[in-house]
Structure 1
Amino acid sequence: MSSTSGSLPVVLLHGWPVTQDHWRHLSPRLADAGFAPTAISLPGLGVPATGVSSFRKAHLAARLREELTRRGVTRFALVAHDWGATVALLLAAAAPDSVVCLVVEEEIAPGVDVEIPEPGAAHYPSWHGPFNRVPGLADTLVPGREDAYYGTFLSESAGPEGLDELVLRSYIDAYRTEGVLEAGLGYYRTRADDVTDINRVRAEPVAAPVLAVGGRYAMGSAVAEGLRPLATNVSGVVLNRSGHYPVEQEPDAAGPTIVEFLRLQWLRREQSL
């Protein structure tokens, strides 16, 4: 890989209810390929949300943009999972000169109506969104029952392949942290505002190239289908053994695919300048 390719920072944004451990296989691959991976935990996603009052994804995208600017990161790729991907998509829409390309892992943006195909539809949970959005319900019922709440979602959404048991335990433990439950629920309770913001992206779709990564036992091909109204250049891949966590469930398939996509888009960008 050329030295120009190696100058590209890759910002990694995980979703709910996991942590930066989600990137434990991908980050070394990116570094070995000459990229500069930077994993960031959005407020409340396994970490405290100190000083954050809004979980509207457009607000989180603006906050992230400010943080990256403070770090001197002004041109970068985004690799994002779950809620992290909705934030990344809105950041790509708001900062087209900064975002070289975007990888979306297992996310369908709020307000995008696409059907999850089988076998994913039989595995990916449908209960957590409505449950999390009801004010006061999960807030009251979950404390002290984190193993059942997070453990059930993680196990169901992972599909038959499952997750590493030690990592699964670390995810649940991270979400026991004081204030994390309430913040995590906040991501679900801004749906109306998030739909409004995503509809603005429909009107002016993201121009940066997008790679959609789905797991066959979760959202599958619906990841790419859901992105096509929101971005002009979408390619997709479905990993056959994965559920909602392809980069950790099939790292030897997901990693090279993502690295090759990033390499190609960065080289194209460099050649066009």
Structure 2
Amino acid sequence: MHIAEQGEGPLVLLLHGWPETWYSWRHQFQALADAGYHVVAPDQRGYGGTDRPEAVDQYSILHLVGDAVALIDALGEQTAVVVGHDWGAPVAWHTALLRPDRVRAVVGLSVPYRARTPAPPIGFMTQRFGAGFYQVYFQQRGVPEAALGRDLPDTFRRVLVGASGDGPAPIPIIPEGGSFLDLMPHPERLPSWLTEEDIAAFVEQFARSGFSGGLNWYRNIDRNWELTAAWATARITAPALFVTGDRDLVRKFGGPDMIAALPKWLPHLRGVIDLPGCGHWTQQERPAEVNAALLEFLKAL
């Protein structure tokens, strides 16, 4: 497992989402380290410089939680504050759910904790949104990888701008015969929070890793539903914080109950921070606000 780290003190794990790497937390290291924390952001399983198992079933939520706990062990700590964005948020939530003895507190960015659906999620999403819904589309082997990998600079310009508060942030339903990139036009210029150097960093990392590892996380959605049945009514007991943007595409298909349901599952929820005009890439788009929220939450623990 490849990690980036800075600082000394209580451990704070930062878990990235898709399609990202440790680099998505580049703006958080200095602020948290200066405040007295040991900040560690891994490339998660299948990404960047970390191993990429071939088998799809090696990317279940139990493997991903196991990686987080094993990283805490490898760093010589008993507990950590676990922070996750996008796909990293379900890993953070489930690490707190499955191993409350190892998690001092938990923070989710963009993706809230969700109760278990009454039926396997892929079928549920297909019924609700159709076969073009991006998580259903990603179940195909090879097709998404080919489209995303064809032109890496174009892919990252489209995805990072398109799903941001500066882009169209569309409901991600792919037209028949199309690809995920069809949802997001090629931007003429980058927004102020994103630079050509940032694009180049992601391009370099995914040129090495490819997209299959990250897409395999999606291909375990129904398997995760089966594996977590025993925790269907369990609650996350650690102190918790949720940060979201009002232009995040997750809000568009999550519905109005997405945030309203959080106190039921997070009895020690310390707050919900809603960032006006912010899209999906929360900590990249609004680093100052996210850093301030994290530091206030950490200080109060």
TM-score (norm 2): 0.73
> Take 1:223 and 1:168, find their aligned partners in 2: how far apart are those partners?
31
Task: Verify the 8 A CA contact 1:213 1:224 in the aligned structure 2.
Answer: no
Task: Verify the 8 A CA contact 1:151 1:172 in the aligned structure 2.
Answer: no
Task: Verify the 8 A CA contact 1:41 1:47 in the aligned structure 2.
Answer: yes
Q: Please list every run of 5 or more consecutive structure 2 residues that lacks an aligned counterpart in the other structure.
A: 1-7, 118-131, 168-190
The one of 73, 76, 80 aligned to 2:80: 76
Q: 1:159 to 1:168 in 2, by over 3 A?
A: farther
Q: 1:50 to 1:188 in 2, by over 3 A?
A: closer
The answer to whether residue 275 in structure 2 is matched with residue 242 in structure 1 is no
The 5 A counterparts of 1:41-190 are: 41-51=43-53, 53=55, 54-108=58-112, 127-160=133-166, 162=191, 163-166=193-196, 167-178=198-209, 180-190=210-220
The answer to whether residue 29 in structure 2 is matched with residue 27 in structure 1 is yes
Q: Deviations over 1:127-178 (max 9, x none)?
A: 5322212233213444323344443222221121744132133223322224
Q: 1:227 to 1:148 in 2, by over 3 A?
A: farther
> Take 2:62 and 2:36, find their aligned partners in 1: how far apart are those partners?
30
> Take 1:211 and 1:112, find their aligned partners in 2: how far apart are those partners?
20
The 5 A counterparts of 1:246-261 are: 246-261=282-297
The 5 A counterparts of 1:153-232 are: 153-160=159-166, 162=191, 163-166=193-196, 167-178=198-209, 180-197=210-227, 199-218=229-248, 219-220=250-251, 224-225=259-260, 227-232=262-267
TM-score (norm 1): 0.80
* Range with bigger deviation, 76-85 or 233-242: 233-242
State the identity as a percent: 22
> Take 1:192 and 1:228, find their aligned partners in 2: how far apart are those partners?
25
1:211 deviates by: 0.5
Q: 1:168 to 1:160 in 2, by over 3 A?
A: same
The answer to whether residue 12 in structure 2 is matched with residue 10 in structure 1 is yes
What's the Cα RMSD here? Answer: 2.6
> Take 1:165 and 1:134, find their aligned partners in 2: how far apart are those partners?
32
| Amino acid corresponding to residue 233 of structure 1 in structure 2 | H
Q: Please list every run of 5 or more consecutive structure 1 residues that lacks an aligned counterpart in the other structure.
A: 1-5, 114-125, 266-273
Q: Deviations over 1:185-230 (max 9, x none)?
A: 1011001022234554442111001101101210358764464453
> Take 2:154 and 2:112, find their aligned partners in 1: how far apart are those partners?
25
Task: Verify the 8 A CA contact 1:12 1:39 in the aligned structure 2.
Answer: yes
Q: 1:96 to 1:8 in 2, by over 3 A?
A: same
> Take 2:59 and 2:20, find their aligned partners in 1: how far apart are those partners?
17
Match of 2:183 in 1: none
Task: Verify the 8 A CA contact 2:237 2:267 in the aligned structure 1.
Answer: yes
Task: Verify the 8 A CA contact 2:82 2:92 in the aligned structure 1.
Answer: yes
> Take 1:36 and 1:141, find their aligned partners in 2: how far apart are those partners?
38
* Runs of 4+ with deviation above 6 angstroms: none
Identify the structure with bigger relative contact order (alpha carbons < 8 Å, sequence gap 6+).
1
